[in-house]
């Protein structure tokens, strides 16, 4: 039996690049795949069903099972229909891979409202829209007494974790997806749904120009290198893991620990609340740059 026999997985942005690699890997492991892709260009313009249909043809010619869906994740009813189509055709939905994305890079000082809205709509709203309708379906299943073992895999990036010049909208959207991953994991765990995210490094049309010439043909940056992790996160083997981010950099799998409190803290010297006059000492001490001889009591370590 293949790893994902009986699974039905919806992949958004599945027509090219990393999304295409996910679809092929999932299908090769036995899953039925809903390949969603409206066929837009890198910046979100244009459109057409060619990319989704092409991936479906690849899967079916290899003996797998797949259908195409060309709706947009930015359209609420399209997102609902993706879930409904999976259930109507295959009888169930066991997983979602939120991968759809566009890029419109701009410095903050030259950014336009339209470009900001477009990027945030596809990445953040799109991830939420598909997630919401899938979660509605799984919650209804659980409420009716049926067993649920479902998996959501979201897509974040280094730009969302640490920022990147010229990518305010993209970074903010990806950071939002990281937070959405945590919230959805907390809310859906009771219904048998795990929610994790990947932060992939790969050479695709989306990342064109990001890698230097020396890495542009690096086999470790082939999109297919990412997809084994996604397939594993869609499998029952991953049902214990939720609310986490895994970064894939070639052969390296890295756990992202997220925001964490530093191991020390400063206590207000009056014992009640922080005062303006002590913050120069307190903050510089927290960052390890406090000069010797500053007036006031020593900070307290946790």
285-298 pLDDT tens trace:
888 887 655 444 45
What residues have CB less than 8 Å from 110, skipping those under 6 apart? Answer: none
As beta bridge partners, residue 159 has none
Percent of the chain beyond pLDDT 90? 73
Q: What is the pLDDT of residues 132-153, one digit of tens each?
A: 999 999 999 999 999 999 999 9
133 and 65 inside one domain: yes
30 and 15 inside one domain: yes
Residue 64 has a pLDDT of 98
- 49 belongs to a structural domain: yes
Residue 65 has a pLDDT of 98
Residue 141 has a pLDDT of 98
79 and 181 inside one domain: yes
163 and 301 inside one domain: no
User: Would you say residue 218 has pLDDT above 70?
Assistant: no
275 and 153 inside one domain: no
Residue 224 pLDDT level (bands cut at 50, 70, 90): confident
Q: What is the pLDDT of residues 249-279, one digit of tens each?
A: 888 899 999 888 888 888 898 888 999 999 9
140 and 188 inside one domain: yes
Residue 79 pLDDT level (bands cut at 50, 70, 90): very high
- 239 belongs to a structural domain: yes
Q: What is the pLDDT of residues 154-174, one digit of tens each?
A: 999 999 999 999 999 999 999
269 and 144 inside one domain: no
- 207 belongs to a structural domain: yes
State in Å, rounded, how far the first CA of the chain is from the last one.
52
User: Would you say residue 75 has pLDDT above 60?
Assistant: yes
- Residue 121's domain comprises 8-256
User: Would you say residue 283 has pLDDT above 60?
Assistant: yes
- 14 belongs to a structural domain: yes
**Section 118-141 average pLDDT:** 98
Mean of the per-residue pLDDT values of the chain:
90
**Section 34-62 average pLDDT:** 86
Residue 302 has a pLDDT of 43
Q: Which two tokens stand for residue 148?
A: 């649920």
Q: Which residues are catalytic?
A: 157, 170, 174
- 40 belongs to a structural domain: yes
β 95-97/65-69 pair status: unpaired
CATH code: domain of residue 234: 3.40.50.720
Which residue is it, tokens 């994790």?
Answer: 196
Q: Could you give the number of structural domains in the chain?
A: 2
**Section 64-91 average pLDDT:** 98
180 and 279 inside one domain: no
151 and 201 inside one domain: yes
Residue 281 has a pLDDT of 87
152 and 299 inside one domain: no
Residue 201 CB coordination number (10 Å) = 21
- 102 belongs to a structural domain: yes
97 and 157 inside one domain: yes
What residues have CB less than 8 Å from 292, skipping those under 6 apart? Answer: none
User: Would you say residue 210 has pLDDT above 70?
Assistant: no
Residue 183 CB coordination number (10 Å) = 13
- 1 belongs to a structural domain: no
- 51 belongs to a structural domain: yes
Q: Are 35 and 52 in contact (CB under 8 A)?
A: yes
Residue 251 has a pLDDT of 84
225 and 293 inside one domain: no
**Section 210-236 average pLDDT:** 77
Residue 295 has a pLDDT of 42
User: Would you say residue 219 has pLDDT above 70?
Assistant: no
Q: Which two tokens stand for residue 294?
A: 């500053």
């Amino acid at each position: 039996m293949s790893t994902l026999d009986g699974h039905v997985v919806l992949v958004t942005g599945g027509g090219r690049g990393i999304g295409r690699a996910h679809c092929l890997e999932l299908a090769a492991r036995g899953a039925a795949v809903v390949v969603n892709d409206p066929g837009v260009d890198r910046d979100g313009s244009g459109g057409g069903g060619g990319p989704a249909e092409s991936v479906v043809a690849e899967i079916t010619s290899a003996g797998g099972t797949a259908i195409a869906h060309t709706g947009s994740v930015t359209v609420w009813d399209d997102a609902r229909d993706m879930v409904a189509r999976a259930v109507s055709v295959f009888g169930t939905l066991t997983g979602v891979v939120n991968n759809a994305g566009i890029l419109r890079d701009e410095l903050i000082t030259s950014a336009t409202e339209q470009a900001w809205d477009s990027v945030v709509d596809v990445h953040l709203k799109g991830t939420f829209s598909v997630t919401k309708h899938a979660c509605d379906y799984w919650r209804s299943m659980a409420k009716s007494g049926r067993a649920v073992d479902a998996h959501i895999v979201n897509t974040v990036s280094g730009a969302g974790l640490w920022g990147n010049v010229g990518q305010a909208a993209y970074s903010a959207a990806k950071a939002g997806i990281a937070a959405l991953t945590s919230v959805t994991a907390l809310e859906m765990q009771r219904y048998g749904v795990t929610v994790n995210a990947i932060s992939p490094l790969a050479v695709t049309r989306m990342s064109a120009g990001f890698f230097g010439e020396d890495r542009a043909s690096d086999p470790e940056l082939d999109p297919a290198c990412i997809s084994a992790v996604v397939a594993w996160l869609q499998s029952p083997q991953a049902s214990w893991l939720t609310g986490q981010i895994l970064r894939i950099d070639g052969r390296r799998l890295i756990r992202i620990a997220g925001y964490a409190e530093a191991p020390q803290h400063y206590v207000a010297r009056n014992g009640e609340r922080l005062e303006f006059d002590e913050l120069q000492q307190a903050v510089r001490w927290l960052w390890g740059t406090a000069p010797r001889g500053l007036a006031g009591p020593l900070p307290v370590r946790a």
